[in-house]
Structures are given as C-alpha cells and as structure tokens.
Structure 1
Amino acid sequence: MIIVTGANGHLGRAVVENLLELVPAEQLGVSVQDTEKARDLEQRGVRVRRGDFDDAASLAHAFEGASQVLIVSAPRLGEQALRQHRTAIDTAKAAGAQRILYTSQMAANPASPFAPAPDHAATEAALRESGVAFTALRNGYYASSALMLLGSATQTGEAVAPEDGPVAWTAHADLARATAITLAKGGLDGITPALTGSEALDLAGVAEIVSEVTGRPIRRVVVSDEEFRSRLVAQGSPESMANMYLGYFAASRQGEFANVDPTLARLIGRPPLTLRDVLKATLPTGR
C-alpha cells in the first residue's frame, strides 16, 4: 500500500488525485490530521487514517501495511521540523515500508540562508541514515509563491523588494504528477536532480508577466535588506516572517533557485507549466 501524508494539503491532495489515475484506490492510504476533510477520498475507496507527526502511535496506525510512504514536509522550521520528519521516517521504517519518499527542495543545503533549506538537508541525511531505500524529491520553488513575493504590487504599481536572483518557478500540478508517477512506477532513487520548470525568472520578470496578465503596470523597485525588513515589520509581519523573506532573497542572489533541469519534463512526459501559465490561471485578466 502507498501511504501519502499531508493529503489534505495543496501538494498532498494533488498527489493523491494523480495516484488515483495510476493505481487502484484500494492500494492507497492517506495519513491526515483531520480525517473529516478526507471523507471524499474514503468514499472513493482510499484508506483514511489519522496521522500526526507529533504522535508516533497515530503514524504507526496510519502507516500500517505500507510498501511506500510519501512524507510531505511539515510546515515547520528548525528542530521541530527535523523532529517531526525523523518520527515519520522511523515510523515508516518500523511499518516495513520498502521505500520512503520525501518532498525536499532544490536549495536543500546546510549553509543556505533560506530557512527551510537546512531543514531539508538534515532530513535528507536522516533518510540516508535510516537504511531504507529513499527518494528525496528536490522540488523547484513553487510558482504559487511568486505573488506573495510581489506583495501589494498589483495595487501600488511597485514591486518593492531587495535585490534578488532568477528562480526556476515550478507548478504544484507538475510536481504532484511527477511524485505520483514516481510512487506508481519508480524511476528516481536517492536525492533527485532539481525538479523544475523550464525557465528561471527574477522578480522583475515576474512583475512583467503580472503586468501583462492583469493590464496593470508594475515597476520593480530595489531596496536594501534593512529597509525591506522595516517595511514588513511596519505592516505587521512578525520578525520571523521578515527573516524568512530576507533569507529567500539572499539565497536567490546566490543562485540557489536558478538551476533549470529537464528531469521534471522527462518524468511527466510534457513541458512543465510556465509561470505565465500559473499566473494566468490565478489572476484576473486585464485588457
């Protein structure tokens, strides 16, 4: 049985929907914190059980009979994230899973200034140490995050942010499809190449596309890190969130999200969705 954690989330649910096209529903199980939100999957024949990364006993029940377990990374940082991931890895191993898959990130690196990246690198190390066959899916930077980085630019006409670098923006839909194919058919072992879209664009390029789609001109304005931090805090953002943003910009300046790799296109059998494709499906169109 293939077990997918986080199946009520954006990526996890999309993986399950793709798996239902590739394997019989009775071969699928999901581990979710809120089983009520997954009742529709249960009605379609998927096994639904409660699983919490902070509750090893619940995970043991959710992972029962697993041949493969997909661990969708926890929305946590630092030691809490690593503790939760280790619990999931240890429980999957104890359940007899023959392979563990994990949604890592293309910038996974202990020295990265982008806060999630060292956590992903540490989880990859834990997977190696587990002795179980594994696949660490080094996902590209989510295209859906591009609008967050623009902030209020569609209202103000200015994309105000520190100097940045190119990013190989990648659609959730493509990553979900690749993950499902890997679970159903194999093909990727160990730490994967970066699973990315086909082009890398900086924030000025993002702003240009948003301008084209919405018909609202947006000008890229570069400010210092400290000025950007001050702006965020003045707008009510927690210091931790400001630091996360600044870490992203520092990592992008170092080229940590710039690599464009053909592996994702090969896996899904078509060109990946572009950032323009994603934004056109998200934003209201202009003239």
Structure 2
Amino acid sequence: MIIVTGATGQLGRQIVERLLTRVPADRVGVSVRDPRKARAFAERGVRVREGSFTDAAGLSNAFEGASQVLIVSVDKMGEECVEQHRTAIEAAVAAGARRILYTSQMGASASSHFQACRDHAATEDALRACGVPFTSLRNGFYATSAAHFLGHAVESGQLELPADGPFSWTAHADLAEAAATILADEGRFDGPTPPLTGGQALTFDDIAGIATEITGRAVTRTTTPDDKFRDELVGQGVPAQRADQLLGIFAASRVGEFATVDPTLATLLGREPVTLSTVLREQLSHV
C-alpha cells in the first residue's frame, strides 16, 4: 500500500488525486491529522487513518502495511520541522516500508541562505541514515508564493521587495502529477531527484511585468533594503525569527539557489510545465 501524508493539504491532496488515476484506490492510504477532512477519499475506497508527525504511535497505525510512504514536508521551519520529519521517517521504517519518499526543495543544502532548504538538507541526511531506500523530490519553488509576494501590489501599483535573483517557479499541480508518477513507478529515482522545475527562471521584475499584463494595471518593481523589509514585517506583527526566514528567500535567490531550470519535470509530465503566467492569471482573476 502507498501511504501519503498531509493528504488534505494543497500539495498532498493533489498528489492523491493524481495517484488514484494510476493505481487502484485499495492500494492507497492517507495519513491525516483530521480524518473528517479526508472523507471524500474514504468514499472512493482510500484507507484513511489519523496520523500526526508529533505522535509516533499514531503514525505506526497510519503507516501499517505500507510498501511506500510519501512524507509531505510540514509547513514549518527550524529544528521542530526536522524533528517531525525524523519521527515520520522512523515510523515508516518501523512499518516495513520498502521506500520512503519526501517532498524536498531545489537548493536543499546545509549551507543554504534559506532556512527551509537547510531543514530539507537535514531531513535528507536522516533519510540517508535510515537504512531504507529513499527518494527525495527536489521540488521547484512554488509558483503560488509569487502570488503571495505580490500581495497588494496590484492595488498599490508598487511591488516593494528586497533585491532578488531568478526563481524557477513551479506549479503545485505539476509537482503533484510528478510525485504520483514516481510513486506509481516505484524506484524510478533513488536518492534526491534532479530539480523538478518549471521551464523558466523569473525575477520579481518579470513578475511585475506579468501582473501588469494580466490585470491591465501598472505594477512597478521597487527594491527595499533588507533591514527595512525585515523591520516592516516585524512592525506588521510577524515574529522576528519568521521575518529573518522570509528574508532568507531573497538572500538565497540572489546567489542563484533557485535559478536552475531542469528538464526532468517536463519529461515526467510528458509536456511542458505550467507557466508562472498561467498560475498568476488564475490567482489574480478576481482582482
């Protein structure tokens, strides 16, 4: 049985949906914090069990009978995040899984300027040490983050962010389809995959231009000093540690950590990946 964690989240849900087009429902299980939110999967024949990365005993039950376990990384940063991933890895090993898969990120490195990439590297180290074959999905930078950073720029006409470098923005839907393909073809990749990226690396200058084209409203990109950006976030109530972590995204991009464009995702999909422009058009359609 293939077990997918986080199956009610934005990425996990789409992975399960696409996996169900490739394997019978009775070969798919999900581990979720709130089984009520996965009722639609249960009605289609998917095994739904409660599981939390903070509850090793609960994960033991959720992972029972697993041939493969896909650990969808938590939406946190720092040691708490890595410790939860370790708990999930240990539970998958204990359940007898033949392979453990994990949603990592392009640029995963202990020396990354971005905390999340350092966390992914630490999790990959735990996978290497666990004694079970693993696949680490080095996902491109989520395209929906570009829409998040646009914030109120469409209304104000000003996209004010720190200096940046290119990002290989990648759609959740494409990454979900790739994950399902890899799960259905067990062992297709061993260890970290090549970067699973969209077809272009674009800066926020490019994004301002795309937003202008989509909405018909001029959006101008202006550069904010790092310290000012951090202070503004803290002034808006963002915890200082979180503000530093967000600033790390821009520091990492400036040294090219997210700039790689790789053909692996297109090969897995059998087509070109969805463009950032398409994602932003959908996100900004209500503006």
TM-score by length of 2: 0.97
Question: Match of 1:266?
Answer: 267
Identity over aligned pairs, percent:
58
- TM-superposition CA deviations, 1:240-270 (whole Å, max 9, x none): 2321221000000010000000000001111
Correspondences of 1:125-274 after superposition (within 5 Å): 125-186=125-186, 187-274=188-275
SS of equivalent to 2:126 = helix
Are 1:106 and 1:141, in contact at CA under 8 Å, matched by a contact in 2?
yes
- Determine the C-alpha separation between the residues in 2 that align with 1:249 and 1:138: 19
Give the structure 1 partner of residue 73 of structure 2.
Answer: 73
Distance 2:235 2:88 in 1: 38
Cα deviations across residues 79-98 of structure 1 (Å, max 9, x unaligned)? 11111111111110111100
> Is the contact between residue 124 and residue 136 of structure 1 (CA under 8 Å) also seen in structure 2?
yes
Q: For residue 161 of structure 1, what is the amino acid of its counterpart?
A: L
Secondary structure of 2:141's match?
coil
Alignment of 1:117-128 (within 5 A): 117-128=117-128
Deviates more, 1:237-246 or 1:88-97: 237-246
> Which runs of 5 or more structure 1 residues have no equivalent in the other structure?
none
Contact 1:138 1:195 in 2 (8 A): yes
Gaps of at least 5 residues in structure 2 are none
Amino acid at match of 1:222: T
The amino acid that maps onto 1:265 is: A
The secondary structure found in structure 1 opposite 2:91 is: helix
Farther-moved stretch of structure 1 (55-64 vs 234-243): 234-243
> Does the aligned pair in 1 maintain the 2:147–2:283 contact within 8 Å?
no
**Which residue of structure 2 aligns with residue 16 of structure 1?**
16
Q: Which residue of 1 aligns with 2:107?
A: 107
Match of 1:37 in 2: 37
Report SS of the residue matched to 2:271. coil
What do the CA deviations read for 1:85-143 (whole angstroms, capped 9, x no partner)?
11111110111100000000001111112111111000001101011010000000000
Deviation at 1:204, TM superposition (A): 0.7
Q: Is the 8 A contact 1:157 1:217 kept in 2?
A: yes
| CA apart distance, 1:40 | 0.8
Give, as a single letter, the amino acid of the residue that structure 2 aligns with 1:115.
Answer: Q
In structure 2, give the amino acid aligned to 1:73: S
- The total of aligned residue pairs comes to 286
Tell me how far 1:185 sits from its aligned partner.
1.3
Q: Which amino acid aligns with 2:225?
A: S
The answer to whether the Cα contact below 8 Å between 2:143 and 2:279 also exists between their aligned partners in 1 is yes
Q: CA RMSD in A?
A: 1.1
Give the C-alpha shift of residue 284 in structure 1: 2.0
Q: Tell me, yes or no, if the aligned pair for 1:136 and 1:190 is still in contact at 8 Å.
A: yes
The one-letter code of the counterpart of 2:120 is H
CA distance in 2, matches of 1:237, 1:134: 36
The one-letter code sitting in structure 2 at the alignment partner of 1:283 is L
SS at match of 2:54: coil
Separation in structure 1 between the aligned mates of residue 198 and residue 240 of structure 2, nearest angstrom: 31
Contact 2:163/2:254 (<8 A) preserved: yes
**Larger mean Cα displacement after TM superposition, 183-192 or 118-127:** 183-192
Mean Cα deviation higher: 164-173 or 225-234: 225-234
| 3-state DSSP of counterpart to 1:125 | helix
Cα deviation digits, residues 49-78 of structure 1 (max 9, x gap): 000101000000000000000000012222
Shift of 1:231: 2.0
Secondary structure of the residue that 1:259 maps to in structure 2? coil
